[in-house]
Structure 1
Amino acid sequence: MNEDDKKRIAARLARIMAMLCVRNTQLEMLHSGLTPVTRTGDYSDVFVEDADGRRIPWSDVSRFDDAEMRALMQDIVKRLYTFHLEASDPKLQATIERWMGAAMKWDEPEIDHRMISRGRE
């Protein structure tokens, strides 16, 4: 297999795994809800007031708590595990085909050099 074919296959696989194993998870629930309005465009004019009366700048607000993060990561790991073990299952193949069109509209993936450099530190 030549390098272009290898990259094309990896790009398709990355997109569909992101769609099925990351996007269509509890992340959708965390993403739902009202998005605050910003007049500056950078949310520096948006604040959250908590139950103790603290006025927290939007950039400093945690969007979800540790329990939600744990549940999200468990969901993603479970889906990645299922994807790898059951990729040849006809039902999963049908799901992959159903979502591939939407996933292929996403930007072309690029190498994340931060992942590679972290292993060398």
Structure 2
Amino acid sequence: MRIAVLVVALTVGFSSLAARADDVTSAQGVIRAQEQAFVHDDATAAYSYAAPAIKQIFPAPDIFMSMVQNGYAPVYRHRSFEFGDSKTEGSSVAQRVHIVDANGEAWEALYTLEQQADGSYKITGCSLLKAGQAV
């Protein structure tokens, strides 16, 4: 009986870890797709990955793209864009991204994503700091 309980507990634990890994993979896919939309100057595609709350603030793809170009230049244009640590909590994922901008300077981005009613993830925010700066 104890072995059966242990097997069930381990199975549930591993299922939870697998689900979290799937959530992180999905979230990273959304971030990567938006990053590629920026590379191709595809405002409509980039905007499609933004959460509803972001779309309320920036009500059109061109307005959103202008904000990214002006306020998030390292995200918009960069030499490298690599995923770091991630954290899941409920239906949210926080994903760190290590960025080297077009000038060779290092940055740290923290993306936050929220799972939507349809199961997809949308980007709810991105905080950007020069590498080595305190939070």
More strand by share: 2
Larger Rg: 1
TM-score by length of 1: 0.32
More helix by share: 1
TM-score by length of 2: 0.29
